[in-house]
Amino acid sequence: MTGTRVVVVDPEDPQRAVLNQAADVLLKSGLVAFPTETFYGLGANALDPEAVRRIYAVKGRPESKPILVLVASVEMAESLVKKVSATARDLMARYWPGPLTLVFKASPDLPVEVTAGTGTVGIRVPGHPVAFGLVRAAGCPVTAPSANVSGEEAPTTAEEVQRRLEGKIELILDGGATRGGLPSTILDVTVTPPRLLRRGAIDVDA
């Protein structure tokens, strides 16, 4: 591929034309870096095995490590999982949109590249307007590992992403600096009561 394009986007009120442009990249198996509530994420169409494989290659990510997924609605989440318990629905209602990732048993329709053969998938609705708008514009679940090489510090600016991934991804949406800090909290809702897998940006009273 040629060089990586950088497009400036309003982080509070992202322009629809920019989001549609980025969504088009995703729907053509391309990769897009974008701001989230914490760090810049690296997006691919989570239903496109070829695109998800590129995420692993670009990041140098171990193939045994599953990839978290962003959705635009509870309905989109339901399409990716086997079952949503009453407890999970309550957590969704209380904490979505926001940095709470819930781990479900994955639908067999979800590519094994996303689940890394674990049979589970971590999902959340993002609270950042750009991240949410991108998923909604694409109309598909979007991967969201940090936009860096595995093992490196997660990037909080588009400049950091470009320095590390120039020429390896199609597009960077530059929404300015993100706040950094803790990543999303991860709760496993395949068990009762839910099990805390990673402490993160929000404290959950499950």
pLDDT in tens, the chain (206 residues): 679 999 999 999 999 999 999 999 999 999 999 999 999 999 999 999 999 999 999 999 999 999 999 999 999 999 999 999 999 999 999 999 999 999 999 999 999 999 999 999 999 999 999 999 999 999 999 999 999 999 999 999 999 999 999 999 999 999 999 999 889 999 999 999 999 999 999 998 64
Spatial CB neighbours of 45, under 8 Å, sequence gap ≥ 6: 26, 27, 29, 51, 52, 138, 140, 141, 142
Q: pTM surpassing 0.75?
A: yes
Helix, strand or coil, per DSSP, at residue 140: coil
- Do 8 and 22 form a contact (C-beta atoms < 8 A)? no
- Do 114 and 53 form a contact (C-beta atoms < 8 A)? no
In CATH, the number for domain 5-198 is 3.90.870.10
| Dist CA 77 CA 83 (whole Å) | 10
